[in-house]
Amino acid sequence: MNSIIGIAVKDIKTFFREKGTIFWTIAFPVMILLLFTAIFGREIPFSANVGIVNEDGQTSITESIISGLNNTGFLTLKSFANRTDAFHDLNATNVRAVLIIPQGFTQSLIMGRSNVSLVVDGTNPDVARLIDDGIRTFFTEYYKQFNPNYAEPIMVSTEISVVGEKVGYKENIVPGMLTYPLLFSSMVVSTGAIVFEREKGTLKKIRASPIHPINMLLGKTFAALVQTVISIVVMAVLAAVLLGPKLTWNVPLLIPIFFLGSMNGIALGLIISCIGRAPQEASNAATTIAIVLQFFTGMYFPIDYLPTYMQQIGRMIPMTYAAQALRDIMIRNATLSDLFLPMATLSMSAIILYGIGVLLYRRWVEK
């Protein structure tokens, strides 16, 4: 235990004195935060799942509307028998919005004017706005086919679900940015921790001592966790001060997500450091992987913006679940039971990745 703490204390002290490491773990993430805040509002083509509840039954008009919506190219419709089922999926983020065609819709339209209701998941304002705009445009264009002179007889009334009030971009981006240290800082720090000892030759000294190789790894892991936590805390405080987002800081739920996410990043870093032949190679690999992965994980923008095949890749990356879990906790006020899937996914992947890392590390040490 003494040796584990010794390694951790030494690494933490070195961390605070290594300007380059402090830059990558604290300053660089802050720069990214500021950059993304500055460029808020870009429109990016995307596709989204939308639920539809047809309470008016099958009429030629409702069938034509559903068919038309399906052909828009940016919506994937999922039919629900009733509003309860649809809202359940909306809350579970299986669909981004629910379109309700109310009873008597066709009759009212024949009489001259009718309404549909659109309930949108407001936790991601970009997605909410794009869906809202898209569906409104659809109905305008749709009716013009039949009567070009009769302007907008179908009214779309939109309400934002889930949080009751509209969520701004800053509320959406802060949880995403807090995923950044999990992916980037933890991976870069853990890669560097092993690679540095190897490059400097100090690993020889540690290996010549009676401590078990696993103890060294645990010490390194603990130090990397502490450094990642520092990065998270700095990010969270700065985000809160600079942006003042209306978020739920449910610390007991956030801690396990941060921990599991960090362990995933640390394990990845460990694997990279054992595979990389030269320190620079390992460091570059970690940086590159982290930068590429961030586009797949929904940290900065919804993965709905990505092409379908990339969305599928994104759903295979554990950090995607960390990003989603953080948003669920901070925006949707998720409870422990809501977080079963991300926690289970992150736990499993952390165990598997860390296990692979330990095996590679042992093989490397015993060479």
Binding site for another protein (CB under 8 A): 2-3, 5-7, 9-10, 13-14, 17-18, 200-202, 204-212, 366
73 vs 47: CA distance, rounded Å: 7
Cβ at position 21, least distance to another protein in Å: 10
Q: Which residues of 114-123 are buried (b: 16+ CB within 10 A; e: fewer)?
A: bbbbbbbbbb
Pick 55 or 199: Cβ nearer another protein: 199
Cβ at position 194, least distance to another protein in Å: 15
Tokens of 258: 């941060």
The CB density around residue 96, as the number of other CB atoms within 10 Å, is 25
Cβ at position 17, least distance to another protein in Å: 4
Cβ at position 126, least distance to another protein in Å: 44
Secondary structure of residue 275 in the 3-state scheme:
helix
CA distances from 290 to 147, 164, 183, 268 (A): 53, 35, 6, 10
CA distances from 37 to 31, 41, 208, 240, 298 (A): 10, 9, 49, 13, 15
Q: What are phi and psi of 313, to 5 degrees?
A: -65, -45
The 8-class DSSP code of residue 168 comes to P
Pick 166 or 212: Cβ nearer another protein: 212
Instruction: Answer whether 48's CB lies under 8 Å from 37's CB.
Output: no
Cβ at position 169, least distance to another protein in Å: 40
Instruction: Answer whether 353's CB lies under 8 Å from 268's CB.
Output: yes
Pick 203 or 238: Cβ nearer another protein: 203
Pick 7 or 98: Cβ nearer another protein: 7
Pick 5 or 92: Cβ nearer another protein: 5
Cβ at position 193, least distance to another protein in Å: 12
Q: Cα 364 to chain center, whole Å?
A: 34
Pick 8 or 61: Cβ nearer another protein: 8
Cβ at position 215, least distance to another protein in Å: 9
Pick 102 or 213: Cβ nearer another protein: 213
199 vs 163: CA distance, rounded Å: 51
